[in-house]
Structure 1
Amino acid sequence: MKHAFVPPADLEPLQRHPKAAAPGHHIDLHHSTCFGCGDDVPLGLHLKVIAGDGLTVSADMPVASWMQGGPGVIHGGVLSAAFDEVMGTSPLLIGSAVVTAHLEIDFAEPIPLGSTLHFDARILGRQRRKVYIASVAHIGDPERPVASAHSIFVTIDVKEHFAEHYDKRVIL
Structure 2
Amino acid sequence: MKSGFVVPTDLDPIERHPKAVGPGERMRMHNHMCYGCGEDSPNGLHLEIYAGEGFTIRASMEVEPHFEGGPGVLHGGILTTAFDDVMGMAPLLVGPSAVTVHLEVDFLRPIPVGSTLELSATLLGRQRRKLYTEGVAHIGDPDQPVAVAHAIFVSINAREHFAEHLDKSQISDEYKQRLSRP
- TM-score normalised according to structure 1 size: 0.94
Q: Which has the larger radius of gyration?
A: 2
Shift of 1:49: 0.9
Match of 2:122 in 1: 122
Aligned match of 2:16: 16
Structure 1 residue ranges (4+ consecutive) displaced by more than 2 angstroms after TM superposition:
2-6, 165-172
Paired position in structure 2 for 1:89: 89
More helix by percentage? 2
Q: C-alpha separation between the residues in 2 aligned to 1:3 and 1:145? A: 21
Given that residues 3 and 106 in structure 1 are in contact (C-alpha distance below 8 angstroms), is that contact kept between their aligned partners in structure 2? no
The aligned runs of 1:8-157 (5 Å cut-off) are 8-157=8-157
On the 8 A contact 1:47/1:61 being kept in 2, the answer is yes
2: CA distance, partners of 1:24 / 1:160:
31
| CA deviation vs aligned residue, 1:79-110 (integer Å, no higher than 9, x gap) | 00000000011111112201110001100000
Amino acid at match of 2:109: E
Q: CA offsets per residue over residues 86-143 of structure 1, 9 Å max, x none?
A: 0011111112201110001100000000001101111011111110000100000000
Q: Secondary structure at the match of 2:88?
A: helix
Q: Percent sequence identity over matched residues? A: 56
CA distance in 1, matches of 2:44, 2:73: 17
C-alpha displacement at 1:165, in angstroms? 3.1
Unaligned stretches of 5+ in structure 2? Answer: none
**Post-superposition offset of 1:11:** 1.3
Secondary structure of 2:48's counterpart equals: coil
Instruction: Give secondary structure in 2 for the equivalent of 1:159.
Output: helix
1:159/1:166 contact within 8 Å kept: no
Letter in 2 for 1:107: F
CA–CA distance in structure 2, aligned partners of residues 61 and 28 of structure 1: 17
Mapped partners of 1:7, 1:135: distance in 2: 14
Q: Write out per-residue CA displacement over residues 10-58 of structure 1, whole angstroms, 9 at most, x where no aligned residue.
A: 1112110011001000011111111011111121010111000111010
- Residue ranges of structure 1 left out of the alignment (5+ in a row): none
Contact map agreement 1:31 1:170 (CA 8 A) in 2: no
Task: Give the superposition deviation at 1:146.
Answer: 0.3
Q: Give, in angstroms, the shift of residue 164 of structure 1.
A: 1.5
